[in-house]
Amino acid sequence: MTAIEAQYDLPALLEQSGARPRGNRHDCPKCGGFRTVTHTAECFFCHKCQWKGNTVTLAKELGVYRRLPSAEWRELRQNRERADRAAQRLYAAVHDQRTEFLQHLEALADLERTAHDAGPTEAAWDALAMVYADRPEILAQLAILETASAADLLTFLSASPEERQRAIEAVILRGGLCDSGGRFMDLGN
C-alpha cells in the first residue's frame, strides 16, 4: 500500500466528485456517461470522455489534498521498504528451496530410469523403493512453496523439522494444500 492509498480512498473521492457508483464502475460526473468510469486503488478513467487521474489529482481537484507530515511520510516509506526487503528475502528463500527440490526430483527421475534399465535386480528394487518414498515428500514441499500464502510460507520455512514434516504429511494426506471444502489449509497447524 502506498502512502497515497493509505491517505485517500479513491471510490470515496469519486463519489465526492459526483461519480455515482454502479457495481464495480461509476457514472462520470464530467460527461454524464453511465458506468463509464473504472478505477484501481490509485487511478481512474472515464471510457467516454477520457477524464482520468489518480488520487492526488482528484483530491486536489476537490480541494481535500493535504501533504503528509514529513515524519508520517518517512514512517510510511520506511514501512514499505521493510516490507519490500522482507518480501525479497522470502522470495529468495522460496526460490532456493524450490531449485533444490527440483534438482532432487531430477536426480530421482535419473535413478528411476537407471533402475528400470537395470532390470529386476535387488539393487534396482531398492532404488525404486527409495524413489517412490522420496518423491511424494518433495512434491508436497514444492506444492507448499508454489501455492501457499506468504504467511503460510513464513510459518513453514521457520518451523521446526518436526512441524515441517507434519505439514508435508498433511499435504500428502490431503493430496494438496486444499482441504475437503476447497479451502487452503493452514500450514501452522
What DSSP assignment string belongs to 83-122? HHHHHHHHHHHHHHHHHHHHHHHHHHHHHHHHHHHH-S-H
| 51 φ/ψ angles, rounded to the nearest 5 degrees | -65, 125
Write down the domain spans for the chain: 3-62, 89-174
Contact 152, 188 (CB under 8 A): yes
Beta-bridged to residue 96, according to DSSP, are none
pLDDT at 1: 47
Predicted confidence band of residue 187 (pLDDT cuts 50, 70, 90):
low
| Lowest-confidence segment of 63-67, 83-87, 100-104, 182-186 by average pLDDT | 182-186
Give the cell for residue 127: 532404488
pLDDT at 4: 54
pLDDT at 149: 81
pLDDT in tens, 9-67: 888 899 999 999 988 899 999 999 999 999 988 899 999 999 999 988 898 888 888 77
